[in-house]
Each structure stands twice: as structure tokens, then as C-alpha cells.
Structure 1
Amino acid sequence: MALSNRQARWLLLGPAGLWYAMLLVLPLAVVLVYSFGERGAAGGYQPAFTLAQYANLATRWTAFKNTLMLAPLGTVAALLIAYPLAYFLAVRVNPRWRTLLLVLVIVPFWTSILIRSYAWIFLLGGRGIPALLADLGLGDWRLINTPFAVLVGIVYGYMPLMFFPIYVSLEKLDRKLLEAASDLGSPPWRSFVQVTLPLSLPGVATGSMLVFILLMGEYLIPQMLGGGKVFFVGNALVDLFLQSRNWAFGSAMSVTLVAVMLVVVTLYMRFLKRIGAAREDVGLM
């Protein structure tokens, strides 16, 4: 018996849709319901309908401020480091060495983020880079347990996620376009701005969203390199759910974080869409 197009569509999308509903929609719905409740006498959740948890969000403003400041800053920093590296490997380097260099970029992912964070604790601690700077007569620097240490850790940890989408976009770039631009008298910098950069924007958009979304929920790096002094929302949520056992307040913070991420990602996608539309208009002129 042949299936209609509609039946075939539901048959293909049904398992994925059910999986999506059970592992994403349903947990979010539970968190949303909990966010309107209250903390039980012994902790946990007590059914209620109140906005008190959302009214108390200002008490955790520091966690939101650090997250909203360091997550975009870390995303931009990772982009500024990953793009030149991806451009060099995809466009400039000899193909015979490309695979080896790509493996070297992947190698840090073979080690636990916990071990890599401990390595940065040593490097940024008193016996690491600060001691070297002091020996060179450059003053007494304190790097560990600062926003700078957290920024270094998140850029180092998430840079490969930014690198590979950009590399794929650049690796697929048609070299004939660059040759044509050169033949028409375009200098290298103009060819990059008008040809290479626009064609690599999909990779930039994908890498930026991957890094930004993950950084908004980051917990381990601020905990280890921030020393409890640079809190992200993820650290606050761990405290509320596991230490204070205030599930209602933790749920309200979680819902607020998801809402902020949705707004930022939506604005970012609209911005990219406008850039694409502007490029098409210029191309038609």
C-alpha cells in the first residue's frame, strides 16, 4: 500500500518530533511551571502561582551581568582568533600539510576540559605567567580568579567550535572568484572584503551561534578559573538547585536565560538576513 506524501512526511518526522518533545519541550514546560511556584519548607518545589521568583531576579544580577558581558566578548574573541587561522589553513597553507595542522587544532578536544582548565589555573596562577612577568620586572600581576582568566579559558575551550564552521565555508570557496577579482585589478584586501568575507559569513554565523549559546550556560570554566568570584548564570543555577534547593527561583532564572538567548539569537539572525539582502541588492545594481 503506497503512502501519501503527508503520511510519509509524518512517518519521517514523527520519531524526531517525539524525541524533540520529550527531551526539550517537556522539560522546558516543567521548568516554566516550577518558575511560578515557591520553595518548599525543606527545599525543593511547592505548587503555587506567584511572580515572586521573577521579582527576585535582581538579587542575581551579578551572574546575569557577567554572563551577558563575557559570553558575547568571548564569542567575538574566539572569532578574531579562529577566522585568521581558518583562512590560513583553508586558503594559504599547502594541502599536503593541511590535514596535519587540522589534527593539531582538534588535539585539545582529546583532553578533558577539566584537565585543560587545571593547566590554565597553573599558567595564570602565582607560579605561572605572573611569576614570569615579575622576573622580567613588569610588575606584580594577578590573573587567576579574574574575568580575564575566565575569558582566556572560554576562548581556548570554545575556539575550535568557531574554527571548523568557518574553515568549511572557506575551504569550499571557489578559487576562480579570487583569480577573477585579481585579473580585474582588485587588490588582495578588496578581494577579501568583497569576495572571501561575504562567502564565509554562513560559517561565521554558525560558529558564533554555537559558541554564544554554549557560553550562556557555561559553568565549569567560571567555577575553576573564576575561583567563585566570577559567577555565570550556570554557577548560580547549580547553587540554587543543588545547594540552596530553591527550585522555583532556579527555574525562574532558567526561563529568563532561555528568553534572553532567544531574543539575542533572533536579533542576530535578522541582522544576518539584512546583510544578505543588502548583498543581493548590491549584486543586482
Structure 2
Amino acid sequence: MSETIRRRGGTGYLLLIPALLWLGLFFVVPLYSLVATSLFDPAGSDFRGYTMDWAFGNYRDAFSTYWPPLLRSLVYGGIATLLCLLLGYVLAYAIAFKSGRWKNLLLVLVIAPFFTSFLIRTLSWKLLLADDGFIVNTLQAVHLLGADGRLLATPVAVIAGLTYNFLPFMVLPLFASLDKIDGRLIEASRDLYANPFVGFWKVTWPLSLPGVVSGTLLTFIPAAGDFINVQLLGSPNQAMVGTKIQSLFTDANDYPTAAALSVILMVLIVGMVLVYVRRAGTEDLL
């Protein structure tokens, strides 16, 4: 029996090898390359015009120069995540508890945007929010926008694009958590004379927290690093850190600063995620 257990354990380790090789090749190696590039001396001339000089000053220079778009990225990503949570929770709740035999169809509709390119979806928002478009004309007609008001090239357009594009990442984890809740627990709260709000806050919300945490992480992390939405829907005044990193890599060819800025963003997000998950206290994620 013990020999059989050891064989099964050895088989388990062998099955891990492909995944470890994949992570090593496509995560560890690129991460090492990124960190190493962030320490090159821009004044050198060995590797693409740079030399390894352990230039930790690159981080100071990158942060002092680009802290506004860095902060803007966190703010825009946070607002979009909050909007996705509010909209996604209502939608996931309706699908889990109210949809009946339409549940599968509604789930397909949630993921339907993924059948279209991210770029095409964002360009569609650009058409919807155009200055002479239906939305702007309607808002001007009801005097919510001035005669010369616009939505494109504003924070509203960027956050709206982020919210739309990343909403499915919020809905699916929320639905998975809500769908697992035993309906008898909700009925029990009613039998104990709890009103719908108290029953939701005491029963449904705590049981759905794993989905809330997973959804907010899956939404906030890509939203904070996004650059397509601000490039198509915003202006230089709404530039996010992803836009600056892309520009530094491809236009300015300033690899050390771009890499340093990437590492700063990654460290900030990882730190925020660790604090958030610990404060949320969801055992399923720790």
C-alpha cells in the first residue's frame, strides 16, 4: 500500500513538470529579463545601446517622471472595478436565482463579447460616444451635456470602455459563487423574520465573497495596466501607465525606463492584491 502511495505521489510530481517548464519559460525568464533591463544604464552602449550598471536610479527617475499616469491608472482601474462589481453583482444574482431555464443562454450572452476582438469592441465604443453620435445628441437634448459637450477624450469615456470590456471577468466568478449558495439558507433567513436586505447582507453577501474577491482581482489587474481604451477613447490628458510603457518601449526606445516603470506597476499591484486578499479574509483564496 505504501509503495502504491509513493508511486501515485511520484506521478503527481511528474505531471507538474510541463506546467513548471511552461511557467519557467514564459514567466520566470521574461520576468528576469524585465528586471535586468530595468537596471541597464541608458548611457551605456552594449545591449541595444545600454550596459548593465545596476542603475537603481532608473526606478527613482521613472516614478518621479511618470507618477501621474501611474496614479491615474490605479484610480481609473479602481473606479471601473467598482462599477463592474455593482453591475456584475446584479446581473450574476439575476442569472443565478431568477433566470430559471434561461440561465445557460444568459451565460452565453455574458461571454458573447469575447467572440469579438478587444480592439473592435473598443472601436465600437468610439463610434457610440462620437461627438455627433446618438448618445451625445440625446444627452445634449436632455441638457445633461452642454451644446459643445463631448464624451470622447474624457475620463468618462475611458472608464466606460474599461467597465464594458472587463465586465465579464466580474460576472463569471460572481455567478460561480452565487450559484453554489444553498437556497435553503436564504429561506431560513426569511423564516427567522429577516427582511430581504438583512438576509442578503447576513447570508448571501458573505457566501459570495470568494467570487467578489476573484472578480475584483480579475478586473482590476488588467484594467490598471490597460492602454487600448485610453488610446482610442481618451486623450493625452487621460494617459495611463500602460500607454507610457508602450510608448517608451516602441517609440522612445527607452528600455530601462519602460522596464522600471513596468516593475513599479507590478510591485504596486501585487502589494495591493496581497493586502486586499488578506483583509477580505476569504480562505478559498489564501
Q: When the two structures are superposed, what TM-score results if normalisation uses the length of structure 2?
A: 0.89
Say which of 75, 80, 83 aligns to 1:69. Answer: 75
CA distance in 2: counterparts of 1:224 and 1:124, whole angstroms = 11
- Contact 1:71/1:212, CA 8 A, preserved across alignment: yes
Are 2:52 and 1:47 aligned?
yes
Q: What are the equivalent positions in structure 2 for 1:49-128 lying under 5 Å apart?
A: 49-57=54-62, 58-93=64-99, 95-128=100-133
Alpha-carbon deviation of 1:110? 1.7
**Number of the residue aligned with 1:259:** 267
Give 1:99-248 correspondences, 5 Å limit: 99-128=104-133, 129-138=135-144, 139-140=146-147, 141-248=149-256
Alpha-carbon separation, structure 2, partners of 1:106 and 1:9: 33
39-48 vs 194-203, greater mean Cα deviation: 39-48
Distance change >3 Å, CA 49–CA 152, structure 1 → 2: same
Gap regions ≥5 residues in structure 1: 277-285
Counterpart-to-counterpart distance in 1, 2:37 and 2:111: 40
- Percent identity, aligned pairs only, is 36
1:26 alignment partner, one of 29, 32, 36: 29
**How much has 1:9 moved relative to structure 2?**
4.0
User: What is the count of residue pairs matched by the alignment?
Assistant: 275
Bigger mean CA offset, 99-108 vs 179-188: 99-108
Structure 2 residue matching 1:20: 3-state secondary structure: helix
Moved over 3 A (4+): 1-9, 40-45, 135-138
1:84-128 superposed Cα distances (whole Å, 9 cap, x missing partner): 1111111123x1222222222222222222222122112222112
Aligned residues of 1:44 and 1:246 also touching (Cα < 8 A)? no
Shift of 1:134: 2.4
- 1:245 partner amino acid: N
CA RMSD of aligned residues (A): 2.1
* CA 62–20 in structure 1, closer or farther in 2 if over 3 Å, else same: same
Deviation at 1:26, TM superposition (A): 1.4
SS of 1:102's equivalent in the other structure is: helix
- CA gap 1:98/1:44 in 2 versus in 1, 3 angstroms: farther
In terms of mean alpha carbon deviation, does 73-82 or 129-138 score higher? 129-138
Q: State the 1:8 CA deviation.
A: 3.3
